[in-house]
Every structure is written in structure tokens, then in C-alpha cells.
Amino acid sequence: MQLYNTLSAEERAIMIDDAGQQRLTLSFYAYAKIQDPQKFRNDLFIAWNALDALGRIYVASEGINAQMSIPEENLEAFRTTLEVYDFMKGIRLNEAVEHDDHSFLKLTIKVRHKIVADGLNDDTFDVTNIGVHLKAKEFNEILDDPNTIVVDFRNHYESEVGHFKGAITPDVETFRESLPIINEQLKDHKDDKNLVMYCTGGIRCEKASAYFKHQGFKNVYQLEGGIINYAKQLKEEGLESKFIGKNFVFDNRLGERITDDIVSQCHQCGKPCDNHTNCENDGCHLLFIQCDECKAAMENCCSTECLEIIHMPLVDQVRLRTGKQVGNKVFRKGKSENLKFKHSGELPETALATAQKPSDIRQKIKVKKVLLGKAEHYYVKAQVGQFTVENHELNVGDKILISGPTTGDQELVLDKIIVNGAETQSAKVGDKVTFEVPFRIRLSDKVYKILD
């Protein structure tokens, strides 16, 4: 039986658009003793694949951690698949502040040693002996207590774009790094301070609270459901937000706005900005903050070196990164000497700018289109793109859509095409077609014919 994806992310995105269903982005976790994680994983894949559920899920003998995208009409059926397991009955599903139909484009369920890597090898440590859960109103109240120390248990690139006021924001790249650092920093306050912690959805704090209780801290608290659930309760109850900025999320959105405050800067020019991106050079793939102006000037690259590389022939790009632990093999977490305005550790609590009100990111109007083919090359100086026609026929006068993760959705009307080296009026399946494209295209881009 098939227990893996057979569609590419691009193919899945097309299917989602064609289906026209509204999808929900949600997350959940549960610590529990799972005897056979591999069987558990396989059973989940079969059940969720049937519901067109997508996402990134980790399972281990200690539980499950999931971030997912689910058709709204399948939500109750999805809940039923969870209720099969006693430890997930009544589980809280953290719904995203901003839903995006393309937040996940594959169903990936992996078996791991632990659902949250902690670097601990202590058999006496009980991960279920957790701290006190606080709802948003209670969390706000305890933050006002002078005996409270609040700690952000996320990584530097997460806290940089948004955090709670007054929080300790460790300059770390992994959760496991933060545990000994905070333990050493607060070792003299095990009895006299409230140790209050938070993270994205609650899973890291769940383990951290148990760890610090194990280390002898008396008053340990955690934000129930993390920042995601906090933001939801703010809206429902009309509460003041003690969080400032954007909440980094681990899906294609890379963030959802909690307040309109921008507290970080473009890492290249210093302009107020909190939009993360990944370097266009697959041999780098650095995660960093980049404003629209720098994105256009640097073509989504983190440095002039990477900008030069993406203009090399693909074969040379592959040769440069062969044998190196780069690209998608390692998620480079936003630290580089090239980033002049990168900040970590102690972070500002005042806004640098106010974000513009976002438009509704759900796709309201479905453009009727058919897939024609894919991009083969882009001639930068001539501003000419080359494409292979794989489906249907292309004619002068056709309105087309060029679409890709970086290019976005760009529409053109063809007034001239070159087919297999000669100017003509139409192209058929198998033809190589070139025409003027007034913007840079990538090899991952697809070309569609827009139908009336």
C-alpha cells in the first residue's frame, strides 16, 4: 500500500487551486508513550491521505508533533481519526491566525527519536510532570508580577520578528541549546521567582516546564497553546496583547501577524521589515529577513556571491554544491557575516514601523487556466524566456500566466513567439518556445494558458 507522496509540491498546488476548497492551517501535539511509532505513523498516513490532509508531522515513542493543512469540510472527519487514540481524545487543535491554502503541499510523517530534540539523557526526567498551564488572561496578569521571569524558548530567528515584552530571548539555533543556558542564568531564582515560558504552539514549553521542575524550580508556568492560542484568545476576549510583532511559523507562510508592530529590520538594508525568505541559491538556502526592494535588487539572494551563482548554468550550480552539506540538506538558520542588520539576543520592545493591513490571503477568484509547460531558461540581458510546451497549443494573442514560488503569478499577452528558432503564430506539444518576459523567471516556474 502506498505510504508516501507521489505528487510534487507544484502539482499539489494546482490540485488545491482547482478543487476550490477552503483549507485550515492548524497544529497540535501530545506527549504519550507509543509502543510502535512506525505502525502509528503508517496508520496516520493512510487515514490522513484519504482526507487530503497535508503537513509536516513527527512521531516518536514520546508522542506526536504536527503542523497541518486540512480542507475545512474534512475537519470533523479529521478529528475522528485522532479520537481513535485515547491520548488524543479531546486534543486542542491550534488554528492559525491567518489561513493559507498553500501552507503545506505534501503529507510528510517522519519517525524520530524524540518529537522535540532536547539533548537530554536522563532516565529520571519525567516529561509528563509539567508546569502550570496559563490562558491568555492569566498569562498577561502574571507578566505584570515583578517576581516573574519570562523566557522565550524559541530560536533567534523566531524571536527577532516578534516576542513578549520583557522576555529573555536566548541567542540560540536549537531548543536543546536553550535549556542549559537558562538553567545556569536563573539557578539562583529557583525558589523566589515565577519562571514563565512560551513558544509557538506549546510543545517546546511543555518539555521545558517539566525539565525545570526536574531541576528544582518551584514556580513553573507555561503559556497554554503557545503564541498561536494566545492570539486566538486575544480576539475572542478582547484582551491587550503583551506580544509585539509577528509569530514565526514553520510552513510556507513563515509567519503570521499578531500585532501591526514591526520590530525587526531587513538584514540587507536596515529598513523596518519582518518578512523571512530563503536565499534563492539552492547551495545556500539561508533563512533571512528581506524587504521588497532588496528582494527585487538581489533577486531573492542573501549576498552578491549567491546572486552571481544563480545566473550560472544549472550544471555549474550543481557542481559547486556537490558533496557539501548545504541547500535543503541543512536548514541554515539565519546567521551570516553577509547580514549587516541581523540582531539576536537582547531585542527591542518598541516598534520600528507599523505594518500595512494585510489583504485576505485566501484565494477568492479562481483563474481558469490549463497547464502548458515549464520554464527552461531565462536570458537576462535580452529579457527573453524559453519554455517547453507539454500540453495543449499556444498561439499569438493568448493570455498566459507564469507562476512559481519566487516569481509569484505574472500575466502576459503574447504578441510574438519564436518556435524552434523561427517566428510563427502557434506552437504545439513538444515545441521549444521563446518570447519576451519583462521579469526574471526560474526553472521551477510553470506557464499556463488563461481561459476566457
Active site members: 199
- Burial label for 237, CB within 10 Å (0-12, 13-18, 19+), is exposed
DSSP state at residue 229: H
CB atoms closer than 10 angstroms to residue 7: 13
449 phi and psi, to 5 degrees? Answer: -95, 130
In angstroms, the CA 251 to CA 199 distance is 16
Q: How far apart are the first and last CA of the chain?
A: 41
- DSSP string across 113-174: S-SS------TT--TTS--EEE-HHHHHHHHTSTTEEEEE-S-HHHHTTEEETT-B----SS
Instruction: Give helix then strand counts, H and E, for the chain.
Output: 11, 26
Q: 410 — phi, psi (to 5°)?
A: -125, 130
What the block records as the C-alpha cell of 227 is 503564541
Residues 176, 119: contact at Cβ < 8 Å?
A: yes
Q: What secondary structure does DSSP assign to 2-50, as a single string?
A: --S--S-HHHHHHHHHHHT--EEEEEEEEE---S-HHHHHHHHHHHHHT
Helical ranges in 190-313 per DSSP H: 203-214, 226-237, 292-298, 304-310
Strand partners, 63: 31, 60
Question: What cell does 376 get?
Answer: 527552461
Distance CA 163, CA 13 (A): 32
Instruction: Tell me whether residue 131 is exposed, middle or buried, using C-beta atoms within 10 angstroms of its C-beta: 0 to 12, 13 to 18, 19 or more.
Output: buried
User: What CA–CA distance (Å, rounded) separates 339 from 17?
Assistant: 36
